[in-house]
Amino acid sequence: MAGSLIAVGHGIIEFPLMFLIYLGLSNFFKLTPVQIFIGLAGGLMLIYLGVDMIRFQIDNKQERQDPSYGPIVGGLITTTANPYFFLWWATIGSALILKSAMFGLIGFVLLATVHWFCDFGWYSSVSMAIYKTHHLWSKKIQKAIFTICGLMLLGFGLWFIGSAMVR
């Protein structure tokens, strides 16, 4: 159930962005200062999240408590904090929306609906898989997975910042 609610939070951010792109925001994303800002801000966010994840694995004296917010807010936060989300919509997503616009508003609505149902299926499937298999993972395996993910976030953050600075 959490995955479907995370998808709702994701959609709350995604649908308005898609509609703004449909109305012409894609040109805004093409501006160099905007691309640099997304690269720097997104890179810093990824580095922060990666370092925090690694630090928690090193200092892991107790279980991390569930956040005080629910999965819908979690979907809002993770979507907004993910620079790849904005990069994807600034490039591939914009192209898809422009193609769908050839069929008018109905084309856009169909694209948005099908896209969200794909997100819904993905988030729900991943959530269910983790829920059904979490008992199979030892604490050592979980710690290794989270450390590797933290290092990957750190690497992606550095790459994002480097890419923004090269412009």
Dihedral of CA 31/9/20/103: which sign? Answer: positive
Is the model more confident about 29 or about 19? 19
> What range does the domain containing 88 cover?
2-165
Most confident option among 62-71, 123-132, 136-145: 123-132
- pLDDT of 73 reads 95
| 26-35 as b/e: b if 16+ CB within 10 A | beebeeeeeb
Tens digits of per-residue pLDDT, 45-54? 889 989 999 9
Please determine, for residue 165, whether its predicted confidence score (pLDDT) is greater than 90: no
Q: In the chain, pLDDT over 90 holds for what percent of residues? A: 54
What is the Cα–Cα distance from 80 to 45, expressed in whole angstroms?
A: 10
What is the Cα–Cα distance from 94 to 165, expressed in whole angstroms?
A: 23
If you ran DSSP here, which 8-state letter would residue 66 be given? P
Tens digits of per-residue pLDDT, 115-131? 999 999 999 999 999 89
Q: Which two tokens stand for residue 7?
A: 């998808």
Q: What is the count of structural domains for the chain?
A: 1
Q: What Cα–Cα distance (Å) separates residue 19 from each residue in 14, 24, 107, 128? A: 9, 9, 12, 30
Tens digits of per-residue pLDDT, 74-87? 999 999 988 889 88
Please determine, for residue 62, whether its predicted confidence score (pLDDT) is greater than 80: no
- pLDDT of 71 reads 93
The pTM for the full model equals 0.77
